[in-house]
Structure 1
Amino acid sequence: MTRKSSFAPVVDDRVRLLILGSLPGEESLRQAQYYAHPQNRFWELVGAALDIELRPLDYEDRLAALLARGVGLWDVIADARRAGSLDSAIHDARENDLRTLVASLPALRAIAFNGRKSATTGRKQLGDAGGSYRLIDLPSSSPAYAAMRFEEKLSHWSAIGAIVREA
């Protein structure tokens, strides 16, 4: 099992919503892009929630579109040993410093966790938000999470659109 590392955060001082995944999968690591696996529904889910079509855009344009709407990306795990892409295969994880990143985002209103592993790891580190921002658990956009249809996932992901549209 090789050690795999997360990417740098995609944030700026306009970020109102930070979406946290667990650790990039094999295809994402190969392409050095968040949510690069073609069957991962992240870009469709977040795009539908924000009323923009992200999948047809080049990767850099996707990131720019998210930032322009106040949405940032990162992962809760800095690095870990893992064979394959499944969260259940993560071992010896070292967490990213979420508290420091969150403290650097003056406009932050909410943190959304993409999947169970992200939520359990991130909530453990962040503890009680103290009312300064909301914590939102979302169903995983991964194709490995097949217990919920796309439409069901979207009904949960739609909540982030309202946060982003708040003035």
Structure 2
Amino acid sequence: MDEFASCSGARLFLAAVPDAGTAERIHQLAGVLKRAHQFDGRLIARDRLHISLFALSGLPESHLCAAWEAAMDVRTEPFEVAFDRTASFRGRPGNCPFVLIGEQGLRRLQSFRQTLGAAMARRGLRRLANTNFTPHVTLLYDARSVDEYPIEPIGWMVREFVLVRSLNGHAHLVRWPLWV
């Protein structure tokens, strides 16, 4: 649990991250879409692309330890995720996230998150487990927003989930492989 010692002031969250090849394809797609929509915002770096599962920032160390233990409790086989649309979410004024979203291709991810949430609830983190979830990958932030638009599906096989520390970049502190 020494991983938590270096987390002061950082954002902590559990996430699913694409493999390097998929991250490159997503980043290239984001560049094409940025030009097509005439966005000014900077692309999210390849190594920062992820699907947030649970935010852990600001929790006392005992709750972080409980989340760690819940993560170790999860047993499920790897699964595929696929995004088939882009859209802008509402953000702070002048700072709208432009994201990948989907539906059919994200059902296993939603099921996995429910399983992880149930493990957290069993460890006393019911409030954290009951947070809303809209699976997405943020591509960039921009002052402008655009409507939902279909794309050729892009996805990857989720074989693990990670504890991410976000402070001047992303550090993957712990990896939990998926297996039954």
Q: Which has the higher strand share?
A: 2
| TM-based fold match above 0.5 | no
Output the TM-score relative to the length of structure 1: 0.27
TM-score where L is the length of structure 2: 0.26
